[in-house]
Structure 1
Amino acid sequence: MITEKYTYKRTPKTIALSADLVIVGGGLTGTCSAITAARAGMKVILVQDRPVLGGNCSSEVRLWILGATSHMGNNNRWARESGVIDEIMLENIYRNPDGNPLIFDTVLLEKMVEEKNITLLLNTSVYDLDKNPAGSPDEDIITAVHAFCSQNSTQYNLSAPLFCDASGDGIIGFLSGAAFRMGAESAEEFGEKFAPEKSYGELLGHSMYFYSKDIGRPVKFVPPSFALQDITEIPRYKTFNPKDFGCRLWWLEYGGRLDTVHDTEKIKWELWKVVYGAWNYIKNSGSFPEAENMTLEWVGTIPGKRESRRFEGDYMLKQQDIVEQRTFDDTVAFGGWSIDLHPADGVYSDQSGCNQWHSKGVYPVPYRCYYSKNIGNLFIAGRIISATHVAFASTRVMATSAAGGQAVGIAAALCKKYNCSPREVGQLHLQELQLELWRSGQYLPQTAISDPENLVNHAVQITASSTLQLKELAPSGFWAPIKDSVAQMLPVTLGKMPAVSFWIEADKETDFEVELRKSSKSFNHTPDVILERKSFHLAKGKQEITAAWDVTFEEPCYAFVCFMKNEDVKIQYSEIRISGVVSLFNATNPAVSNYGKQEPTEDIGVDTFEFWCPQRRPEGRNIAMKLSEPLDAFTVRNLVNNYHRPVSQTNAWAADLSDRNPMLTISWAQPELVSRIDLVFDTDYDHPMENVIYVHPETVMPFCITNVEVTSSNEQVIGRIIDNHLSRRTILLEKPISTQHLKLRLSGSNPNVPVSLMEVRCYR
């Protein structure tokens, strides 16, 4: 029993905690940043103002996670973000291929609680902070933040030498006095031709999602009094479809004309009005008899936010950086979502719900965008990074933000290691930052990486029991008409393009066009350069056609053998799938403003080009063909070329298809001491792995090695991996061993896929 006499005032229970890094915001960005920093040895406190992690991708909002892959609707091949976010997405698809948002919550929470270096504070909101005294030489340094948890009625005073604001609205940056912007820059300030007019609006709004369910019997719906009464207030009301739910209705958006920080509660009520009004229309208008058995299963209680503050770093990313894919010496992350602006009036606008313009490939993001230019110990991550409004329209999406969070996590560890500021990491320790990011799985476009500590780089020989020579994609019984132009991507090196033979069936006598293309930039996958055209006059029936090319390649790249649209012609496909080899279709994907070709009607600073995109499995078969000369694209040299994914080449070693349990042998001139082995597998970076709404046909990617056995020179088994489904696995030895050879016995699970490996690294 507790009995207290009257006192004038009481203070809440207060707990003081300290760490190496305090991260505010437990969305996907803060989660990935915290995990990365913790694994790098940092003591981390993660402060999240909600009961679950994930922010916009949590069960509270239920937005799918996307980034450079863009629903497989752009030309960014093998572009899924890697590192911690990749680990999360692969774990989710392994456990949760049906996209249950509650299960995804548990994946994030499990990843967090498994890291012993992280103190997680849920339901805890930051409301104040301390800095060094004004006028002191280091007045721009934050010393502590203050937060309150409503669930346990406890105040927390959190101190650290480093802070990261991943809060979405930038509460730490705002309270600390960090320079920020809100709204759109003029076209003149940064020379951005896509900067919006005032009539379009300066901010993107919030969205509210709902889930519906068919319960197998009629169910009525009586709308609340606050529901929108006149559905015609929504100009797009005729596009409602009872089968759509959740973030397929992303355009239920509002608030871009308001203060998207302080008016959030007002915006939420308007969105509830819209959601319940839309459902009333679907249920009670009589226009959707198919909705009779449907009930409203879930409606969000907090809106998904797109835009509020953006904080200034030492560099502001702009439109030209994205469209031109400009290189930076300090690249630490990448993006690839379209420049995706929405009208500020959202659901009440008579304009299209979004205005998406893609670049021809992924673009680098420099480190200077991830820390405040005037608060000395503040990292900025997520949608608040240093970018213009136009560039933000691409960088704001969650997978891109998560990659930035990983960059911050590694940078913070280097701050601790060298007792330096975030800015000084970029000035003094940039190469180490990029190397550690690369080791943690981060892809750094157009950035050369070398790892002098990797013992495999010093091996005198790497041999394989077999190596794939790509001479044929064996035909199957599957034929399909060429309703959209289709292309087969083939990895070519220096020299003449081999002749290509393929099988077609013409329904009638017709002319058939085949083109050989490449990308204007070897690291891109937009087939915008036509090298040669072939025209064939076909007789009716099945026939084998050979296209011999008079083309020589002067650098390694992908060749695109393009079979142009002709619905009177069927082409034969193959069931063989190979790492770094994929077929593409010049089809449409309206979900990401892909209508086959991007063609702006005015000069807005973006390119005109065609979209050639893969299909989702079980579709997306390769085209059956034979080559006059084999493609030597899967050599063991790829294991040490410092690429984790296909880019201008496959960057994978692959065994012959018949070699189901291949062996790799790494040999040194003399015995080496080995204590750690890192392996990088192909988990199909083309796959977007949306965490909700989509149902995925696989839980393990078909290219992924599932089992590994490692033996030393004396045939002693020193490590095993069993039932793998992840991109990166590490074998840590209990104690170092001395060996002159390492043998890796590998196996996969798909008989139509050659066993392949992206990388193997060994460390003392």
Structure 2
Amino acid sequence: MKTKNEKYEVVVVGGGMAGFCAAVSSARMGRKTCLIQNRPVFGGNCSSEIGVTIHGAAAFHAYARETGIISELLIEERSQNHAEIYENGWINSVWDMVMYDMAVKEEDLTFYLNTDMRDVKMSSDNKIEAVVAYIQSAETELIIEGDIFADCTGDGIVADRAGCEWRWGSESKSEFNEIHAPEVGSKEDVMGNSIHFRCKDMGRPVPFKAPDWAVKHDNPEYFYNQGRIPKDKRGGFWWLEIGVPYNTIYDNEDIRHELTRHTLGVWDWMKNCDPKMKEETKNYAIDWIGQVPGKRENRRIMGEYFMTENDIQEKTVFRDEIGFGGWFVDLHTPGGLLARHAEASAATDGEEYNTFDEYMVKSYCGPYGFPLRSLIARDVDNLMMAGRNISCSHAALGTLRVMGTTAVMGEAIGVAASTAIKHGVNIKEVPQKYIYEVQQNLLRNGCFLPNVKNTDKKDLALKAKIIASSEDYLLGAGPESKGFHEGLAIWKDQPQYHVETLETIKGQIVGIGSDRLDSVSVCLTNTSDIEQEVEAYIRPIDSIWDYRVDANEVIASAILKVPVGEKVWIDWEVNLTKENGLPLNQYVRIDLGANNNLEWHEAGCVIPGHTAMYQIGKNKMRRYYNGNTLSFKVSPAQNCFKATNIITGESRPHSYTNVWISNRNNPLDQWLQLIWDTPQDVSLVELTFPGHLLREYHAYAPLYRDPQCPKDLEIQGFINGGWVKIAEINDNYQRQRKVKLDKSYSLSQLRIVIKTTNGDASAMIYEVRVY
């Protein structure tokens, strides 16, 4: 057997989304990085081998797509891939190759695929000295030394071999008083492993005969009333899951076999037994069955901070915040296919998710931040982790485990590891001594932190005066309004609350950009035969994700009278100014109370940053539909898309719109200009554009390029009394672009000229940085 000895600054074990983003992040920070992956492709659960599509915070929250490396990858995949995203099983090799391409292009990244991590070597000072790995089919042993190691294996293999303490199963209610915790904790409370399958329409009837060893399913209640609904004849069922009584690590092969037996049995039931599915699937044949189980939960490594569900529900603000999540607290029933119900919500609502169900109300959470300390191992001095093995409770893992969130974790530990090496300190010192640097680097790399803004002292844009060729003003939108949303749909797998009736309170967010608001109007239908009344309120809110029913003090209220009729505009004189509570450069929310005789109509377009929400619990609201805008008008028009938004420090609509939009009635070219009192040495311009934020990855069509994203643009400098092109970008569809100029220019004025977009009539930019 051949042996190779190598030395790196950062060594990442595990090439799923967490590990991949950690390794790329570290390499981009200039650290010599090695990534070890035991499969032939990157991606872990989302690879073509397993096929779980990536979920994240935007499944439940408008404008909550994870950004940074994960965004770059997903935007690239959609631009290249001909395939529709449906749900599990619908990942093809285009995604594998997008990841592979990124890895190959990173100069400071070395990777080993098909390589098993076998053991660790410890030093006398409580650090990992090296990992021992074996390249499959190459008879080669690798001894890889490193300064900092990252366990992104999911199973926590590195930490386990290094002697770290870890947890398994659920914590009891008495330990942390989490609302999802059982009264008695149990090692049995571990979510299971899954395989997936997909089917193909053959255009003619296709028979299917299950092998004798397949499980025989013949009870429709097992599917329709116990949370195992075959929503699509093509496959893609998350509930093909088995854990208890098997150990999800040691019994993985037994689980794979049992899952295969059940998968064939489920398809047999669909093809040959159930009257409804039998008809729907008659022309379908099995095309693929995965044979690598995807895992949800295993070891959770004890870190410098142990995150609980209380942190998530209360949105704890951490000084060392380095990422965010927003998937719901999604805890599957131990046993999966072997249990009575597939997940806890199915026990009370077997057929569909009910948005008002008590279990679903308490499970809806976020977006919330999480700390770097939960990604630093407590028991070893140079070990970090990202993924489902981080330091958190079982209940907290229900939301933290999804791949959009774990990718953000990975990018964060790559930056943190680089920072520790740069300053020559133990990784455990970074959360206290260098967290500002880590956070500012993450923001600069395109990531988002709910409680941190760009205050980078080196960013020359923050010192500039900002003007633009034009600015769009907010007037509102009605049912007949049109937008540029071709190719943007919804995540079809989850039932959508899409009811215009005022069953409960509904609220529409409005950005205030002027010093007064004289009136607002809403478009309602009165379905009864008499005049109706509805309570109306306006209150400032802290962010687009401020879901408190009683968010802040009401600044205007009224009882609106609604005559009988369809799509009637109801005017409300509010006469708000700064003196009576109107905030500037902040959101307010127009709330209408419950009245089942009234409908508040959706607008025909989505106004950037202007989404709606509805009440689901006593003091809890949630996103309405998929981030849609309800019909409203404001007077006077609000200047909430102004040029100065590009230096608010936030690069998405969060506490405010934070975007410059040119007047859509003015033709392109449109420009944004930075002016300094004295000349500045400029060699790098970094741009963040709109697009790919509103909804989850699943909502975007094949070969998609977001219409809001600028396509062709120039960077111009004011030189010798005139504007000179110093750089250009062509055929762009990515959210973030960093443009290194051919030399350093001494400039007192700089322009970004948007020449074309990918479809929208306006030029739009979230952030400009200049260095």
TM-score range, shorter chain: 0.7 to 0.9
Identity of aligned residues (%): 30
Q: Which amino acid counterpart does residue 274 of structure 1 have in structure 2? A: H
Rounded to whole Å, the distance in 1 between the matches of 2:234 and 2:164 is 39
Q: Deviations 1:578-597 (Å, cap 9, x if unpaired)? A: 43123x364xxxxxxxxx72
Alignment partner, residue 9 of structure 1: none
Q: Which amino acid counterpart does residue 83 of structure 1 have in structure 2? A: G
The residue correspondences of 1:101-116 to structure 2 (distance < 5 A) are: 101-116=92-107
Answer yes or no: is 1:394 the counterpart of 2:399: yes
Answer yes or no: is 1:437 the counterpart of 2:442: yes
Contact 2:134 2:141 in 1 (8 A): yes
Among candidates 509, 533, 536, match of residue 489 of structure 1: 509
- Cα distance, 1:221 vs structure 2: 1.5
The residue correspondences of 1:215-226 to structure 2 (distance < 5 A) are: 215-226=202-213
Q: Which amino acid counterpart does residue 158 of structure 1 have in structure 2? A: I
Contact 2:542 2:587 in 1 (8 A): no
Alignment partner, residue 58 of structure 2: 69
Contact 1:62 1:246 in 2 (8 A): no
Matched residue of 1:647: which SS? coil
The TM-score, its normalising length taken from structure 1, stands at 0.88
Q: Deviations 1:254-313 (Å, cap 9, x if unpaired)? A: 113332111111111111111111111112226212322111111110111000000011
- Cα distance, 1:509 vs structure 2: 3.6
Alignment partner, residue 495 of structure 2: none
The residue correspondences of 1:179-328 to structure 2 (distance < 5 A) are: 179-197=165-183, 201-232=188-219, 235-236=222-223, 240-241=229-230, 243-247=232-236, 249-285=237-273, 287=275, 288-328=278-318
Q: Deviations 1:375-403 (Å, cap 9, x if unpaired)? A: 11111111111111111111111111110
Contact 1:33 1:407 in 2 (8 A): yes
Q: Deviations 1:396-436 (Å, cap 9, x if unpaired)? A: 11111110100101011112211222112222211111111
Alignment partner, residue 162 of structure 2: 176
Matched residue of 2:27: which SS? helix
Alignment partner, residue 487 of structure 2: none
Contact 1:196 1:202 in 2 (8 A): no
Matched residue of 2:718: which SS? coil
Alignment partner, residue 141 of structure 1: 127
Among candidates 470, 474, 484, match of residue 470 of structure 1: 474
Q: 1:749 to 1:506 in 2, by over 3 A?
A: farther
Contact 1:509 1:537 in 2 (8 A): no
Higher deviation after alignment, 751-760 or 180-189: 751-760
Q: Which amino acid counterpart does residue 678 of structure 2 have in structure 1? A: Q
Q: 1:466 to 1:521 in 2, by over 3 A?
A: closer
Q: 1:542 to 1:313 in 2, by over 3 A?
A: closer
Q: Which amino acid counterpart does residue 381 of structure 1 have in structure 2? A: A
Contact 2:36 2:112 in 1 (8 A): yes
Q: 1:82 to 1:756 in 2, by over 3 A?
A: same
- Cα distance, 1:488 vs structure 2: 3.3
Rounded to whole Å, the distance in 1 between the matches of 2:512 and 2:415 is 36
Higher deviation after alignment, 670-679 or 623-632: 623-632
Q: Which amino acid counterpart does residue 236 of structure 1 have in structure 2? A: F
- Cα distance, 1:242 vs structure 2: 7.0
Answer yes or no: is 1:597 the counterpart of 2:601: no
Alignment partner, residue 342 of structure 1: 332
Q: Deviations 1:674-707 (Å, cap 9, x if unpaired)? A: 11000011114221113xxx66277122322222
- Cα distance, 1:216 vs structure 2: 1.0
- Cα distance, 1:350 vs structure 2: 2.0
Matched residue of 1:716: which SS? strand
Rounded to whole Å, the distance in 2 between the matches of 1:194 and 1:574 is 37
Higher deviation after alignment, 482-491 or 208-217: 482-491
- Cα distance, 1:185 vs structure 2: 1.5
Alignment partner, residue 605 of structure 1: none
Structure 1 gap segments, 5+ residues each: 1-11, 587-595, 600-607
Rounded to whole Å, the distance in 1 between the matches of 2:481 and 2:45 is 44
Alignment partner, residue 41 of structure 2: 52
The TM-score, its normalising length taken from structure 2, stands at 0.87
Structure 2 gap segments, 5+ residues each: 86-90, 346-359, 484-497
Rounded to whole Å, the distance in 2 between the matches of 1:752 and 1:387 is 43
Alignment partner, residue 6 of structure 1: none
The residue correspondences of 1:405-416 to structure 2 (distance < 5 A) are: 405-416=410-421
Among candidates 342, 346, 368, match of residue 363 of structure 1: 368
Alignment partner, residue 90 of structure 1: 75
- Cα distance, 1:208 vs structure 2: 1.5
- Cα distance, 1:562 vs structure 2: 4.5
Answer yes or no: is 1:666 the counterpart of 2:687: no
Contact 2:121 2:130 in 1 (8 A): yes
Answer yes or no: is 1:726 the counterpart of 2:734: yes
Contact 2:500 2:601 in 1 (8 A): no
Among candidates 574, 593, 608, match of residue 549 of structure 1: 574
Q: Deviations 1:635-665 (Å, cap 9, x if unpaired)? A: 2222111101111210112221123322111
Among candidates 443, 455, 459, match of residue 454 of structure 1: 459
Q: Deviations 1:558-591 (Å, cap 9, x if unpaired)? A: 3333566778767666555443123x364xxxxx
Contact 2:541 2:589 in 1 (8 A): no
Rounded to whole Å, the distance in 1 between the matches of 2:476 and 2:622 is 26
Alignment partner, residue 610 of structure 1: 621
The residue correspondences of 1:460-539 to structure 2 (distance < 5 A) are: 461-473=465-477, 476=480, 482-483=500-501, 487-492=507-512, 497-504=517-524, 509-510=529-530, 511=532, 513=534, 515-516=536-537, 518=539, 521-522=542-543, 524-526=545-547, 528-529=549-550, 531=554, 532-539=557-564
Q: Deviations 1:611-656 (Å, cap 9, x if unpaired)? A: 332437xxx4x44543222223122222111101111210112221
Alignment partner, residue 409 of structure 2: 404
Answer yes or no: is 1:654 the counterpart of 2:661: yes
